[in-house]
Chains A and B, each alone.
Chain A
Amino acid sequence: MSNQRVVVVGGGLAGLASAMKLAELGVAVDLISLTPVKRSHSVCAQGGINSCNDQTRQLGDNEWKHFDDTVYGGDFLNHQPPVKEMAYWAPKVIELMDRLGVPFNRTGEGFLDRRRFGGTLYKRTAFAGATTGQQLLYALDEQVRRRESEGLIRKFEFWDFLGPIQDETGRCRGVVAQDMVSMEIRAFPADAAVVATGGCGLVYGRSTMSVFCTGSAASRCFQAGAKYANGEFIQVHPTAIPGSDKLRLMSESARGEGGRVWVPRKPHDSRAPRDIPASDRYYFLEERYPEYGNLVPRDIATREIFDICVNDGLSVDSERMCVYLDLTHIPKAELDRKLGGILEIYEKFQGVDPRIEPMRIFPAVHYSMGGLWADYVKSADGGLEAGAPANHMTNIEGLYAIGECDYHYHGANRLGANSLLSCIFTGLFTGPSIVNYIDNQSGGHADIDPATLSGAVSKQQERHDSLLTGNPGSDENPYLIHQELGDIMTRAATVVRRNDQLTDAIEKVNELHDRAMKVNLSDTGSWSNQNVIFAKSLQDMFPIAKSILGGALRRDECRGAHFKPDFEKPSLTAEDPAERRKQAEEWCDAFEKNNDKYLKSTIADYDNASMQPQFSYEDVDTSLQPPRPRLYGLVGADIIEEVWKERAEAKKQQPQMASS
């Protein structure tokens, strides 16, 4: 048996896929998670997982089109080689999950059933009712339990990752973690470490994310020197149920199965929704986006719902902003079979049966497209070089980032049902890369300088102890500071972003960060102290929050989920064909000029002394598919597209000039 040891932090889809694959490759795995892995946030994913398939292929679909939809939907901010590799792996990933026993919905003949999701015209999405994430996670959890029973994996559940261990060369030699029950802090020496710790929704207070999605694990890597990229790209999901503790997701699959979004044309129409005739209903997504209808990409649906409520004053409810998501025209048996899980959530938490009455929904923070910067090696065919040690390695040698907590795949906006895919894909794909990396190292986990390990542990022990005993006179309460942070972030850095508000938010978050460093704990005990664990994660939210705000302030454009109305490109206004053509030319000039400046990944490095991120920019690899305007519903899209195609064609004619 091999003598390689890897520590995997995080037990969601990415972490479990990684642990399972590494175990298969003969690596001993320590799996660290702050919750029993079966309870990880991946369970909340509802709608499904994408791949081209036998049906869609016969309608003209293929892996390349899945790749293209993903980068077009992501507004071309995605590095293309990883996306290409993922799209080509997608059918294989779903086949593996099928073999592992995921109860995917079936057609009458027994094949995997598929539904349509946003940002594509094909039915690519395989699903298990409306709890696909839960079902995929359980299949991986079962395999990890199997490997655990064989002694290949050791699980450390209710352990909080505190930071990577780095030797004098900066190389990652394991991690430090804390038992959340006994509060013991110890080192986990390893040949390499994988962080698969998900998103940072809790930075916004309430979101669709689980309570442990604080982003603190990514932040601890960031503070240790790892780069954090594209932080400002936060997906706000169009449809969630507002709640005082959480904003509960209402899956895109509701629209994929025919759900329609509407508001009464008359503001705050007091009639019951079923009494409002079709002529008095405004199906605004269908009217404004005839091609994609209710299944426009998420950033667009979110902005339209926001716009309808805030600017048009057409919210269904006068006290609380919301629109109808209507499924009542679909037969109940079909709803139960395909969407049962989410309908139960609505019914349980709202006390209303969505099969009879339209749901009331509003957008909510949902996913972090950005995350830890991770490297990759491009292959000759434009995908990723299988087994290359650099794939998904952060800039800290030996520290890998996968799943939602890395910045790849989704660019400026993620397409629905692509996240489960990216998580499982990265977990599986990086296995051989990590093994090859370890093979190339001279020193292993068994011969790390003991001083390196004890130094890393005592640094964390000092932080812990000083939080317990420090700040005796202070009355700063970590829970109240978290609420304040959430309010500031939600106001300034979600659907609509304005520079004056961002500047103001940065100032406030800086003050709040200082206050958070002086929190006074109401629990100073040394047994199952959730108070101190929360205080640490709260403090670690700030480097991420500052990266989101700073990245957003510096990006004076609209791209995917990042929307600044002051820099929005206008629709075409001219009626006269020649004038309209001229406007389209100008539009395309402006588009190209903007791309020259802003088609770049935002890269943040954290400066611990000033407690501020430092920003720089990285070119995006768009070598497979040249960026083109994203024109889902713009007025004048046809003529802009025509002009753009002519330009692209002209560029192709002169390849030498273009590359010189």
Chain B
Amino acid sequence: MIALDPAANRPQFINVRVKRQDGPGQEPYWQLFKIDYEPELNVISILQRIAALGQTSDGKKVPPVVWDCGCLEEVCGSCTMQINGRVRQSCSALVDQLLKDNADEIVLEPMSKFPVLRDLLVDRRRLFKALEKVKAWVPVDSYYNMGPGERQLRAAQEQNYPLSQCMSCGCCVDACPQYNKIELERKKDETDEEFRKREEKAWDTAFVGPHAISQAMLFNNHPTGKSIAGERLDALIAPGGIQACGNAQNCVAVCPKEIPLTTSIARAGRATTIHTIKKWFEK
């Protein structure tokens, strides 16, 4: 094998192509940016440099690209976008790795399943609303001091902890063929409240998504959380529930936290079947 001098291989510039959109419902367009190469950059630092630069590769002054980010260490779930066609966190998208796969350019696009607010910023309220639908919480009586929770075996903690690392980034739903984009337009005579209600109704009957199914399984496996297990399973039987899953298994492939989403879905499938039969007998 011929050893290559890594320094000689370094490009002088990085070409970054960004899909931009000025607001909801407007036509998207592309812009190309040229950034000086530095080692150990990630997509966040690229976008920071674009903001500081304020111009495209042909010198046209443009407003900074709008995007969402937070912790920059892949625990907050903010910075999800499509990078070279793959949905992922932009903080952990390392430029040197991306250039190995495609030395010509880095392509940044917003997530595909959520309405674009502007550029790479999308409206992900539906993700969080799904957590409400499956009652993803422990229904404690109060926040007073009532002593410790129930003792739990290490095996139970080790089953629950990976599921509890879900940061609602939305990668799983963006890659899911059964999860469709819902983008409603506000009617002229509609109040904020009415529009919100109509949105929530649309979300409620569409696919809830792998992340929410997995959270339902997490709380159904908790000693106190289990007390409303039936209500969670009811939610998963309702329209937009587990039956919408087409078993494409894209979710588990793109999850940045490697959460066993398909295992959760399989568990939910069994649990809802038993729950349905039980309910049928109880009629």
Residues of A whose CB lies within 8 Å of any CB of B are 20-21, 24, 35-36, 38-41, 43-44, 92, 95-96, 98-101, 103-112, 128-129, 131, 134-135, 138-139, 142-143, 145-146, 148-149, 181, 210-212, 243-246, 248-249, 337, 341, 345, 348-349, 351, 428, 477, 479-480, 483, 522-525, 527-531
Contacts of A100 in B (CB 8 A): 138, 140, 149
Residue of A95, A107, A138 with highest tally of chain B CB at under 10 A: A138
> Is the Cβ of B136 less than 8 Å from the Cβ of A211?
no
Question: Do the beta carbons of B225 and A21 come within 8 Å of each other?
Answer: no
Q: B148 at the A/B interface (Cβ < 8 Å)? A: yes
In the docked arrangement, what's the CA distance between A337 and B158, Å?
Answer: 8
A138 proximity list for chain B (CB < 8 A):
164
Does A111 contact B151, Cβ atoms closer than 8 Å? Answer: yes
- A-B pair count, CB < 8 Å, reads 190
Complex CA–CA separation, A181 to B23 (angstroms): 10
- Contact in complex: A96, B164 (CB < 8 Å): no
CB of B13 within 8 Å of the partner chain: no
Given A44-B73, A349-B73, A99 contacting B138 (CB threshold 8 A): yes
B153 touches A145 (CB 8 A): no
Contact B224 A99 (CB under 8 A): yes
Residue B244 lies at the interface, judged by CB distance under 8 Å to chain A: no
Instruction: Please name the 8 residue pairs, one residue from A and one from B, whose CB atoms are nearest each other, closest first.
Output: A523-B63, A142-B137, A479-B52, A528-B118, A98-B149, A110-B151, A101-B138, A245-B45
Residues of B within 8 A of A107 (CB): 154
CB of B59 within 8 A of chain A?
no
CB contact between B138 and one of A24, A134, A142, A245 (< 8 Å): that residue: A142
Take A99-B148, A106-B157, A143-B137 as given contacts and tell me if A246 and B73 are in contact as well, using a CB distance cutoff of 8 Å.
Answer: yes
Interface string of B155-197 (1 = CB under 8 A from A): 0111011001101100000000000000000000000000000
Least Cβ–Cβ distance between A478 and chain B, in angstroms = 9
Stretch in B75-83, B103-111, B246-254, B272-280 with 4+ CB within 8 Å of A: B75-83
Q: Is the CB of A24 within 8 A of B142?
A: yes
Shortest beta-carbon distance from B219 to chain A in Å: 7
B202 located at the interface, meaning its Cβ lies under 8 Å from any Cβ of chain A in the complex: no
The answer to whether A110 and B94 have CB atoms under 8 Å apart is: no
Tell me if B14 is interfacial: C-beta within 8 Å of chain A: no
Extra inter-chain contacts (7) besides given A39-B76, A243-B72, CB under 8 Å: A20-B143, A38-B167, A44-B76, A101-B149, A105-B154, A522-B54, A528-B23
Range class of the B interface residue count: 35 or more
Write the nearest CB–CB distance from B140 to chain A, whole angstroms.
5
Q: Mark B42-65, 1 if CB is under 8 A from A, else 0.
A: 101100100110100000011110
State whether B131 touches A145 (Cβ < 8 A): yes
A528 in contact with B52 given A111-B151, A129-B161, A142-B138 (CB within 8 Å): no
Kindly list chain A residues whose C-beta atoms are within 8 Å of the C-beta of B121. Answer: 528
Residue B69 CB within 8 A of the other chain:
yes
Query: 10 A-B pairs, CB-CB below 8 angstroms?
Result: A39-B168, A95-B148, A96-B143, A98-B149, A106-B153, A149-B132, A210-B70, A244-B40, A345-B73, A524-B63
Q: Which residue of A lies closest to B258 (CB)?
A: A344
Report A533 CB to chain B, min CB distance, Å.
10
A337 to B25: give the CA distance in the assembly, Å. Answer: 46
Query: Which residue of the partner chain A has the closest CB to B145?
Result: A92
Chain B residues in 8 Å Cβ range of A21:
143
Is the CB of B66 closer than 8 A to any CB of chain A?
yes
Residues B164 and A103 in contact, CB atoms below 8 Å apart: yes
Query: Smallest Cβ distance from B14 to chain A, in angstroms?
Result: 13
With a 10 A CB-CB cut-off, give which of A111, A143, A244, A248 has the most chain B CB atoms.
Answer: A244
A residues within 8 A CB of B142?
Answer: 24
Closest CB of chain B to A102's CB: distance in Å? 8
The answer to whether B40 touches A345, judged by C-beta atoms less than 8 angstroms apart, is no
Interchain CB contact under 8 A, A245 and B77 = no
| B52 contacts A35, C-beta separation under 8 Å | no
Cβ of B98 < 8 Å from any Cβ of A? no
**Closest B residue to A246 using CB positions:** B72
Question: A148 and B132 in contact (CB under 8 A), knowing A107-B154, A248-B72, A349-B73?
Answer: yes
| B230: min CB distance to chain A, Å | 17
Residues of A within 8 A of B9 (CB): none
| Contact present for A211 and B70 (CB under 8 Å) | yes
* B118: contacting residue among A38, A244, A428, A527, CB under 8 A: A527
B76 neighbours in A (Cβ, 8 Å) = 35, 39-41, 43-44, 210
Complex contact B167–A43 (CB within 8 A): yes
- Whether B15 sits at the interface, judged by CB under 8 Å, is no
Interface residues of B in 4-49 (CB under 8 A from A): 22-23, 38, 40-42, 44-45, 48
In Å, the complex CA distance between A182 and B95 comes to 32
B117 touches A181 (CB 8 A): yes
Q: With A99-B148, A103-B160, A480-B52 known to touch, is A530 a contact of B132 (CB < 8 Å)?
A: no
Given the known interface contacts A135-B164, A148-B132, A248-B73, the answer about A95 and B147 at a Cβ–Cβ threshold of 8 Å is yes
Q: How many Å lie between the Cα of A337 and that of B162 in the bound state?
A: 11
* Interchain nearest-CB distance for B222 vs A (Å): 5
Chain A residue nearest in CB terms to B256: A348
- Which residues of B lie under 8 Å from residue A106 when comparing CB positions? 152-154, 156-157
Known contacts A103-B161, A131-B165, A212-B70, A244 near B154 by CB under 8 Å: no
A44 to chain B, nearest CB (A): 5
**Which of A110, A243, A531 contacts B152, CB < 8 Å?**
A110
Distance, CA A109 to CA B149, complexed state (A): 14
Check B71–A210 contact: CB distance below 8 A.
yes
**CB of B84 within 8 A of chain A?**
no
Tell whether, in the assembled complex, residue A110 and residue B153 are in contact, meaning their CB atoms are under 8 Å apart: yes
Give complex CA distance A524, B61 in Å: 12
Verify B48–A245 contact, CB threshold 8 A: yes
Enumerate chain B residues within 8 angstroms of A528, measured Cβ to Cβ: 23, 66, 117-118, 121
Assess A349 versus B147: contact at CB under 8 Å? Given A106-B154, A134-B167: no
Given contacts A244-B38, A522-B61, contact A146 B154 (CB under 8 A): no
- Please judge, given known A-B contacts A134-B75, A522-B54, whether A101 and B222 are in contact too, CB under 8 Å: yes
A211–B72 touching, CB < 8 Å:
yes
Please give, as numbers and ranges, the residues of chain A lying within 8 Å of B40 by CB-CB distance: 243-244
Which residues of B sit under 8 angstroms from A40, Cβ to Cβ? 70, 76
Please give, as numbers and ranges, the residues of chain B lying within 8 Å of A134 by CB-CB distance: 75, 165, 167
